[in-house]
Chain A
Amino acid sequence: MYAIGERINGMFKSVAAAINDGNPEPIQQLAREQLAAGADCLDVNVGPAAADAVAAMEWLVKTVREVTDAALAIDTTKPEVMRKGLALAGPGSVVNSTKGQQEQLDIFIPMAVEYQASLIALTIDENGIPRDANGRCEIALRVVAAAMEKGLEPDRLLIDGVILPVNVTQPTPGHVLETIRNVKLLSDPAPKTVLGLSNVSQGTAQRALVNRTYLVMALAAGLDAAILDVLDSDLIDAMITSELLMDQAVYCDDFLKAYRSRAT
């Protein structure tokens, strides 16, 4: 699974403070820790508080780039912030994210092509979040068609089935699993699937357990990538073990260590 570390996000108070103060150390520390914990990619989000989001993204990407060449997921809904982040992060980045309505696809798909990035597309459109898996797949199909038309290969497209907190809407985790399975049938090669995992446990009393259990279920359904808290080592252990049980890695007694040594 392609693990995108979620922690460099202005929604966290310490990150917001670092951005506000122009203090690189906490950001660079989070970058190093998340990569050491198994992240393949780092999400970067300036958060809602930044007065000048473009300047904040510029500072944030440059700050992270001082310590790593790892892929970055530029996390914003604003095209000008996205463009700034992609330009500074370089090829192999992830556009996080576009929604499914045409006017957004017209902006973000060409941007992903231009900067040689992958694209996360949320199954949300002008009518909001669909109530079931069919609605989600309809949007995904439109996104796949638009991506093909504009020259973005399906395997650089990541469909996000939009998970909601389980204590808000309990049928949604099941709908998203069905979406993950069905999205694979939309094209050949199939688009990838991704989840903003931590959302499933928002506001619950057992956040880590809910995240961990749902990640395992989603991986079994064929999930390819997740934006998640890679610093939760139980969560990453569960991910590694799931891949092992699905024959995606060769077993050995120290299989957790083997996975974690892969990049060093």
Chain B
Amino acid sequence: MSFEMPIEKWASAVNAVTIGATAADGGTRTSVVTVGGDTALPFLSFEGKSPNRPAIALEVLDVPPSEWPAPMAEAVGDVCQDTGAWACKCVEEFGADLICLRLVGAHPDQGNRSAEECAQTVKSVLSAVGVPLIIWGCGQADKDNEIIPRCSEVAAGENCLLGSATQDNYKTITAACMADGHKLITEAPLDINIQKQVNILVTDMGIDPSRIIMYQATGGLGYGMEYAYSIMERTRLAALAADRMLSMPLLAQVGADCWKAKEARTSEEVAPEWGPVAERGVVWEATTATCFLHGGTHIFVMWHPGAAALLRKTIDGLMSEEG
């Protein structure tokens, strides 16, 4: 008796979104990243296609990191004192597809850098690397509304990805994105209903859904990873069923989530039974990323180059089956 593979037929696809603009498109990037376009659940190549490879961004900060875990300091080295040089190392040495610049130094409690200072940092990173940029505010709504428009302006035409629009604070960043030709990150606190609502709010302002990337404030391994996975899966199913307000590609901040975990940070002296700290955080981050890869994440914002390398290897293997 012959076996017939049960095949799901889907009505729609995830949007394909391109980040970065080369000279031909009015920018100065030497490479661009396109994600999404999937017509089936992740890597079910017998049901549909994932035409675009998931992308890896490495995160850099506008100020030297404080309270960094030892394995991070060791992997990145002194270059973390200079944002441009740090970004350059992420691309040239660690192979990042994008740079995620997080403007933590703008936070009123962490340096309160001005909009102009932030804009200078954006410019320095743009000139240091040729890959597309993700520019993320400090997370304090009022301050982000000050710095993001200026950073957006100095990067006009570069087709960056700006983060993030939330249910309570979306107007300024959406307007900046539209004015300067960028893509937008919409954020929700691990809640698919709020994610959809934010997408409606920003598209109501006139931004096209094809210019949006979605970010659910995720949890790493041991801190809600399964729940994040289930939301990713449900989001993909909604996209494939033609829910236009959930058809955008997904981004995950894997590095930031994982390196908060005590399992990634605690030293061997305190917890010898957990094994060498040099490996623990890397594996924690790579494991979480692998899970989210199967959940349908398109852009991974990673911290550790070792974890990024492990993720890249997994992507290589899965994409080779995509044909």
Contacts and interface: CB of A to CB of B under 8 A. Distances in A.
A249 B238 CA distance: 8
Interface in A224-264: 249-254, 257-258, 261-262
Contacts of A251: 193, 196
Contacts of A258: 196, 200, 243-245
B244 A261 contact: yes
B245 A261 contact: yes
A213 B264 CA distance: 57
Nearest to A155: B9
Given A258-B245, A262-B242, A262-B244, A252 B203 contact: no
B194 interface: yes
Main secondary structure of the interface of B (DSSP, over half): helix
A249 B192 CA distance: 11
B246 interface: yes
Contacts of B194: 252
A262 B242 CA distance: 8
B197 A253 contact: yes
B234 interface: yes
Contacts of B193: 250-253
Given A257-B200, A258-B200, A250 B192 contact: yes
A258 B238 CA distance: 13
A70 to B, nearest CB: 16
Given A262-B242, A262-B244, A252 B197 contact: yes
B200 A250 contact: no
A258 B201 CA distance: 10
A140 to B, nearest CB: 24
Contacts of A252: 193-197, 200, 245
A253 B244 CA distance: 15
B214 to A, nearest CB: 12
Contacts of B244: 258, 261-262
Contacts of A261: 200, 203, 244-245
Interface string A161-190: 000000000000000000000000000000
Contact of B234 (A250, A254, A262): A250
Interface of A: 249-254, 257-258, 261-262
Given A250-B193, A250-B243, A262-B245, 18 more contacts: A249-B243, A250-B238, A250-B246, A251-B193, A252-B194, A252-B196, A252-B200, A253-B193, A254-B201, A257-B200, A257-B204, A258-B196, A258-B200, A258-B243, A258-B245, A261-B200, A261-B203, A262-B244
17 contacts: A249-B243, A250-B192, A250-B193, A250-B196, A250-B246, A252-B195, A252-B245, A253-B197, A254-B197, A257-B200, A257-B204, A258-B200, A258-B243, A258-B244, A258-B245, A261-B245, A262-B242
